Amino acid sequence: MKQVCYNFSGQNFVVSGASSGIGRQVVLDLAAAGAVVLGLARRSEALEELRAMAPENIKTTCCDVCNKGSIETAVGAFVAEHGKVHGCVHAAGNLIATPLRSYDAVAAHSLMETHFWGGVLLLQCCTRSQYAVKGTSSVVLSSIDAKVASKSLFAYASAKAALATAVKTFAKELAPKGHRVVSVSPGWVATELTQRLSEFAGPVKEEVYPLGVGQPEDVANLILFLLSDNARWISGTDIVIDGGFLA
Amino acid sequence: MDTFIEQMKELLDTETELEGTTVLASIEEWDSLSFVSFLAFAATTCGKRISAEELRKAQTVNDLFVLIR
């Protein structure tokens, strides 16, 4: 029996990066808690599979978070059908190695586009009076890589660091309407993203994680707490969830 | 003027109905952030450099419109 169960019935959320990993888990958990969730991602098959798990609560749209018009269309249609949103979660983005001496510029820029600018666009859209109730709660995924460096990951780490910093400014700008925005910095979580990371960086050194590697559910649990009223006094900050790695 | 009103509604992120005669001080969202946003809007979208002092003199939406014309 879980110690904590959430009740988000009557609430609407938008989640980017919904097709896999942490984003997907957040969609599932919000839906299980009674929310209606718009899952955004680029992979239509994965989205369809996700939607089928709880079609009453999970709505999906293929969308590129780097495209402002694309986000507005998707969120606008969702709001028109289900009402204004109560928050969003930006979990979109992948991981590409960009060692300083030989990085691919297009790939490196795309990391900043998806992780950082995509997050900015999603937050901008989901906090507009037109689409959002007052007092929304939004979470973006940063990473402990923004705090502790790994070779060949400067572009990813910098994009995640940029997000965490932007969150502080947004928190101050959005507070007058009661909106909260927080970043979450996970350590190594078992997802497609880290699977890809281990392909070129080698397997994770489990011994540096006192509590072992994380699962998407672990981060989703934290995110749901942050989206809830229990976190009403948390904004403009970054929360580390890393199995004790940084300790 | 209609376009300008739409642009102002978006800039202020307000759902209040705006007219030329609307007094800025009566708009909940007319705060220091909107002030900065308007200066940026004037410079970038309208190509007009307005000073903060000029903007402070504006009392109504019409006054804003005059500044960027």
* Chain B nearest-CA residue for A133: B15
Best interface-test mutation with A: which of B9, B13, B27 has the largest number of A CBs within 10 A?
B13
- pLDDT number for residue B26: 92
> A130 and B14 in contact by Cβ < 8 A?
no
Range of the domain at B52: 2-11+20-68
pTM score above 0.80: yes
Domain count, chain B: 1
User: What would the DSSP string read from start to end of A178-221?
Assistant: T-EEEEEEE--B-SHHHHHHHHHH-S--GGG-TT--B-HHHHHH
Q: pLDDT tens digits for A168-216?
A: 999 999 999 999 999 999 999 999 999 988 888 888 888 899 999 999 9
d(CA A176, CA A38): 26
d(CA B55, CA B36): 10
Q: pLDDT tens digits for A49-68?
A: 999 999 999 999 999 999 99
> A128 and B33 in contact by Cβ < 8 A?
no
> B31 and A176 in contact by Cβ < 8 A?
yes
The values of phi and psi at residue B36, to 5°, are: -65, -40
B53: domain CATH number is: 1.10.1200
> A129 and B13 in contact by Cβ < 8 A?
yes
What domains does chain A contain, in order, with CATH numbers? 12-240 (3.40.50.720)
The values of phi and psi at residue A224, to 5°, are: -65, -40
- Partner B contacted by A173 (CB < 8 A): yes
**Pair of tokens at residue A144:** 């402990």
Q: What is the dihedral of CA A24, A246, A179, A75, to 10 degrees?
A: -20
**Structural contact between residues A8 and A85, judged by C-beta atoms closer than 8 angstroms:** no
In what helix (H) or strand (E) does residue B10 lie, and over which residues does it extend? helix B2-12
